Structures are given as structure tokens and as C-alpha cells.
Amino acid sequence: MRSSLQRLGCVILAVSAILTAWPTVVRTHNLEFTFTVLVIRADGKYQIDVTTDLDALALGVGLGANSATLARNLATMPKASLDERLTDLRQTLTEQLVMRFDGEAAKMDLEFPEFGTMMNAEVPSYIGLTARFTGVIPERTRTFTFQADRQFPPVYLTVLDLAGGRDAQQLLLRGEESGRHAVNSLNNDEAERTWSVASRYLQLGISHIVPDGFDHALFVFGLFLLSTRLRALLWQISAFTAAHTITLALAAAGIITLSPAVVESLIALSIIYVAVENLITDRMTGWRPIIVFCFGLLHGLGFAGALSDLGLPANQFLISLLAFNTGVEIGQLTILLALFLLIGWARHRSWYRPRISLPCSLAIALVGLYWFLQRISELYP
């Protein structure tokens, strides 16, 4: 008994130390996609606006770092050092964002139209979020493609052909080159095949759980910890799956909407609830699947948030939605399989609850509490 209490105490101290050291609110440009708008003009020129965290790239830190700190560092940097950073940034962007005409890489001019205008924004930026490339389309060009390096999040590419009077959208996974788009032609043949669209949204759904959906993964982990019987776990997972499938479809179709900040705060509460119930009882209650179903409705809205800005192709809406949801399920099953391989063998041992279930549930509850406080503070700054 004493050793179990000691383990619980260690977990509390470790998690508390981490949460204490972590800033209360870290405001960042959380860009899940690299939104790119490519305009083909009637005068034979083109323009590409790429949305990304330019401050982070200029300072050589990971995307998603504290934006206020990055902007402040650049704003107070000596001019010579800033010019050097900007030169390196230009080189990085021109090397890693590539426009090709008939397979040949184009030389493009680059500017930052938001430079110095976003310092007073809610989430500030010194250089801005838009990298604008411009150039002239070579004569007798038939097709063009666009590609971003793997360090950038998946690209949501919108092509506006003002000369041909048409537009197209395409989702590109990390490092993937776009399909070939015809220049100034109404007879365009770059439309993606159904299987290609499904494959992209399937991979997007998987990555939204593994590795990007840490909060959703913790919720599934919490469900796993209580249920020592496979049947009880399957009941919970089935209820969770059915619920998030319903709200994901309704939200993606625009039938229901809820503030993403509210949804994320409630998702954190769901994680706390499941973890705390694991601490209180060692068996699944009759209302647990119902509670899990209700929380699944919230998580479905969270999954829909990943698609809200991105959108789904109108001509392949259903297949894209089904593929994304299938990817989410594969991600969840991957987590469960990993848990079974790591600790599943111990679920019927007498020491499973005091040594594994209780300490892990306590840690999950504390992380969920931290997320809730962080997210609710963004609602009421």
C-alpha cells in the first residue's frame, strides 16, 4: 500500500512540475495546413500566396512556438542581424516552395506584404503570415505544378485561373507535388481520381489522431485503463465511434456549429471526467457508455474543426468525409493496439490497478485539468 502511495505521489509531483514550468497560455499561429492560393492572371503573370509562420521560420524554431516572443525577438533585433535572417528566410522559402512549368522549376520573386503590420494582432507576427511569390508564365507553357517541402504542414492548394475562368482545390500531404494543372485551358484534366482523394483524406484522418491528436489519444487511453474486460472496452469504443461519426458528419455538412474554443475546453473536461472516474471505481458503471457517447459527440465536433477551415471538395464530399472518419478510426485502433501490446498483458493481474491504472489515470486527469484551464483562459482572457 505504501509503495502504491509513493508511486502516486511521484506522479503528482512530476506532472505538477511540468505544468508549473509550462506557461499558462501559449498563443501561437496554430496552422494545421499551409493554405496556398495560386492565381493565374490573364496578362500571363502568376501570384502565389502561401500562409505559414514566417517568424518561426526566420528564427529557425519549430512551427507553433510562442508567437508573441518570436515577434518581439525579431522587432528588437539589430538591423544587420534582421537582414541576415530575412535573407536566409528568402532562400529557405524559394528552395522549399517550388512552382514548375512543364516540369521545370520557375524563378520567382518573393515579398512579405504583411511585414510589420501584425504586431498589434491578437496573435502577433513581425514578418507576417503571407509569403507572396510572383512571376511570368513562360511562353507555350502547357501545365504547372506546385510543391512544398515536408517541413511544412499539409498544403491546401486553391488554383484560381482568371484567364480560363475556373478554379480548383487540392489537398497535398507533406512533401507531395500537386497534380498537373493546365494553363489557360477550359479542357482541364487535372481532376483527381476518387481513390486519390480518399487516400489523402484517409491519411489526414490518421495523422489527426497519430501523432497530432494527443488529447483524443489520452481520452482513448482513459477508456482503456478502466476496462479489464475486452467486451466492456468494446462497448465504450463503439459508443464513442458512433457519436463522433454523427457530429463529424453534421458539422462537416454545416448543419451544426459550435465555437472551436468551447469544443476544445469541453474535450479537456471529458478527459478529466474519464480519468477521475477511473480513480473512483474499478469497474464500468451502467452509465459509462452513455457518458462516453455524449463525450463522443464533442470529440466529433473537434474532428470537424480539423476540416472546418480546410473544407471538403464539393464534388467528392461524401467519399472525403468517409475517408477522413475511417482514418480517425484507424488512428484510434492503432492506439488501442499499442496499449494492448504494452500493458494489455497485465490487465488481469492484481497489481494492474494500483501500479498502472491509478497512476496513469491521475496523470491524465492532471493533464486534462491543465488543458482545460489553458483553453478556458483563452475564452475569457
CB 67 within 8 A of CB 27: yes
Distances (CA, A) of 230 to 277, 312, 334, 343: 18, 36, 16, 13
pLDDT of residue 359: 92
For residues 338-345, give the mean pLDDT: 87
- pLDDT, averaged across the chain: 81
Q: What is the pTM of this model?
A: 0.59
pLDDT of residue 343: 87
Report pLDDT digits (tens) over 159-179. 888 766 677 888 888 899 988
* Cα–Cα dist 376/266, whole Å: 9
User: Is it the case that residue 25 has pLDDT exceeding 50?
Assistant: no
pLDDT of residue 6: 47
Cell reading at 338: 499499442
pLDDT of residue 114: 92
> Which one, of 37, 33, 77, lies nearest residue 53 by Cα?
33
Beta strands in the chain (DSSP E): 34-40, 45-51, 97-101, 104-105, 109-111, 130-136, 143-148, 155-161, 166-172, 181-182
pLDDT of residue 88: 93
User: Is it the case that residue 188 has pLDDT exceeding 60?
Assistant: no
Q: Where does the pLDDT of residue 100 fall: very low under 50, low under 70, confident under 90, or very high at 90 and above?
A: very high
Q: Where does the pLDDT of residue 99 fall: very low under 50, low under 70, confident under 90, or very high at 90 and above?
A: very high
